[in-house]
Structures are given as structure tokens and as C-alpha cells.
């Protein structure tokens, strides 16, 4: 197990300082206080016992050791901050550090942070965007999968057809055309109970939240939902919403579970599907053991 070579760090900093001071001497006197400021910073940096040195010969086998050392350094310097993934960048001496959902770039000594995007101008690549995409994919993989049994059914509109023996749930936006298409197919099923979680996508359909609340506050929610899907008109819905709704909870549940579009179907016998399905496809899924 390798250890931190603080002597090489001090040497590197002092050599850098010497070069800076020499350059000042080559062109004349340094600006007022500049030389002393550089010298002061170099002295303090060289004395820091916890700097993680840049080692261009670092092999993959020792990468974990360096990352562990950097994490220890950060926890010592910023004990109240929770750091996520930490990794070296292609730039010598620069680390990529995740703080919550934000990414920053940090120098080896853990003092200087840059918040923004890192670009490779030779390849015209946004390295930060690529890193964020990878983190998002990993987050989706790690996110617990929502099942029918996890659902708070009291927050859904319940529609029973026939015996209602088979069950499924749908996250649906009142103004989503594919949701309306799915409703036409659901109407062809018998002996099924459908739980509709109103999930307005406000960024796409600004009026959907108001319609969802009006449907929920109707005396007969199932009838109001059915009529709205048949006509697409909200004229017979309550004009003023005066009841508590689960809309915000539904949106939070969907977002927490990685559901970003509608319709989204969860089957009582297991499994899920994104997008509209035909009645035949729904029957096949409901018949699975």
C-alpha cells in the first residue's frame, strides 16, 4: 500500500514558486506584494501535511488508494459536507468531485474548487456532460424499482369492471394523448380494477394540474375521469377546487421512482410498461403467472 509523499508535494510547490519569482526577476520588479504573496502561499502549501500529490506514474492498481486519500483529506477539511464520487480528471492535478447533484473540479490540495463544465478542446468534448450522463444512468440503475404492491392505492381513482379480480395501476396525465389512447383500450377489458394515479406533467401541459385537481374533487371521480377522456373537455368539472388532493404526492412518488412520462402501467401480477398498449397486449400481461 503506497503512502502520501508529502516531500514531493513540498518540492513541487517550492519549485513552482521559485520559477514564478525568477520570472518576476527576469522582467523587472514584481508588482507590490506579489512576490511576498506567492512566497507566503508556497510556504503554507508546502507545510500542509495532507495534500494529495499528482503522480503521473500512478497505475490503475493504486487509483483506489489515491481516491481514498483524497476522500480523507476532504472529510478533514470540510467535515460538514457530504461528498459523493471522487475521481481524477485527464488534467494533471485536477479532481472531479460530486457534491449532491453538483459536480466540481478541485485541485490536489483540496483548497480550490471550480464549478462549471470541463472541456477537452482538442476532441471538442464536454467532459462534465458525459460524467453527468453516466451518473444519471447509474442513479436509475440503483433506484429501487416501484411495484404495484408499493402503491398507495388510496391516492388513485378506482375503476372496477366486472369482478375486478385482475388489477393494474396507471400513472396518467389528463392532457396526454397516449393516456387517452390507453383509456380506450382499458375500456375493452373485463374483470379488472384500474387504479389511476393522476400525474400531470406541468412542464408539457401547463393546464393539466388544474384539470387533475378538478377531476379528483368531483363527486364521482371515476365518472369524471371517464367523461374527460371521452370528450377532452373540462366544462362539467368543478370550476373551483376546494378539496385536498394527492396530486403533489403522486408527482413526488413518480419522480422518486424514475417515472418521467405517461402513461406508465404497473400490473398487479408483476411487471410494468411505459407507453400505451393495446387491449390484447394488456390481456397478455394480466394473464402472466
Q: Are 57 and 119 contained in the same domain?
A: yes
- Domain end point (choices 94, 119, 142): 142
Q: Are residues 192 and 172 in the same domain?
A: yes
281 and 202, same structural domain?
yes
pLDDT value of residue 28: 37
Domain identity same for 172 and 203: yes
The C-alpha cell that represents 260 in the structure block: 418521467
Q: How far apart are CA 244 and CA 216, in angstroms?
A: 9
Is the same domain home to 252 and 156?
A: yes
Residues 38 and 58 in one domain: no
Same domain, 162 and 74: no
What integer pLDDT is reported at residue 143 of this predicted model? 53
Q: Say yes or no: 138 and 152 in one domain.
A: no
> How much is the pLDDT for 10?
37
> Are both 265 and 190 inside the same structural domain?
yes
What pLDDT was estimated at residue 49? 36
- In this prediction, the residues of the chain whose per-residue pLDDT falls under 70 are 1-63, 135-144, 234-236, 238-241
Query: Which one of 142, 177, 204 terminates a domain?
Result: 142
Please state the domain count of the chain. Answer: 3
Task: Judge if 210 and 235 occupy the same domain.
Answer: yes
Q: Tell me, what CATH number does 276's domain have?
A: 3.40.30.10
Taking the C-alpha atoms of residue 262 and residue 277, their distance in angstroms, rounded to an integer, is 12
Q: Please check whether residues 175 and 274 belong to one and the same domain.
A: yes
pLDDT of residue 21: 32
**Final residue belonging to a domain, choices 142, 163, 191:** 142
What pLDDT, on a 0 to 100 scale, did the predictor assign at position 130? 82
Peptide bond connecting 75 to the previous residue in cis, omega within 30 degrees of 0 = no
**What pLDDT, on the 0 to 100 scale, is given for residue 15?**
34
Provide the residue range defining the domain that includes 203: 148-286
Do 158 and 238 lie in a common domain?
A: yes
| Burial (CB count <10 Å: 0-12, 13-18, 19+), residue 83 | middle
Amino acid at each position: 500500500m503506497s503512502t502520501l509523499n508529502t516531500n514531493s508535494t513540498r518540492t513541487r510547490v517550492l519549485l513552482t514558486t521559485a520559477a514564478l519569482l525568477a520570472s518576476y526577476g527576469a522582467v523587472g520588479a514584481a508588482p507590490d506584494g506579489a512576490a511576498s504573496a506567492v512566497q507566503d502561499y508556497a510556504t503554507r502549501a508546502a507545510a500542509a501535511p495532507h495534500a494529495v500529490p499528482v503522480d503521473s506514474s500512478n497505475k490503475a492498481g493504486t487509483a483506489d488508494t489515491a481516491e481514498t486519500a483524497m476522500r480523507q483529506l476532504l472529510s478533514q477539511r470540510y467535515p460538514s459536507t457530504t461528498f459523493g464520487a471522487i475521481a481524477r480528471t485527464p488534467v494533471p492535478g485536477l479532481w472531479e468531485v460530486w457534491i449532491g447533484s453538483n459536480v466540481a473540479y478541485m485541485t490536489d490540495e483540496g483548497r480550490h474548487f471550480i464549478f462549471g463544465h470541463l472541456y477537452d478542446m482538442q476532441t471538442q468534448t464536454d467532459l462534465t456532460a458525459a460524467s453527468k450522463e453516466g451518473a444519471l444512468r447509474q442513479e436509475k440503475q440503483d433506484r429501487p424499482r416501484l411495484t404495484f404492491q408499493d402503491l398507495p392505492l388510496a391516492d388513485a381513482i378506482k375503476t372496477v369492471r366486472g369482478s375486478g379480480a385482475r388489477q393494474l395501476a396507471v400513472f396518467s396525465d389528463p392532457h396526454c394523448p397516449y393516456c387517452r389512447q390507453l383509456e380506450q383500450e382499458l375500456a375493452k377489458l373485463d374483470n379488472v380494477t384500474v387504479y389511476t394515479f393522476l400525474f400531470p406533467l406541468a412542464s408539457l401541459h401547463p393546464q393539466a394540474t388544474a384539470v387533475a385537481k378538478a377531476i379528483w374533487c368531483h363527486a364521482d371521480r371515476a365518472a369524471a375521469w371517464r367523461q374527460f377522456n371521452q370528450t377532452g373537455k373540462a366544462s362539467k368539472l368543478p370550476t373551483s377546487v376546494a378539496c385536498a388532493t394527492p396530486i403533489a404526492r403522486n408527482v413526488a412518488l413518480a419522480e422518486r421512482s424514475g417515472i418521467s412520462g405517461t402513461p406508465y402501467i404497473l400490473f398487479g401480477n408483476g411487471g410494468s410498461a411505459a407507453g400505451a398498449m393495446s387491449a390484447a397486449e394488456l390481456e397478455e400481461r394480466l394473464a402472466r403467472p
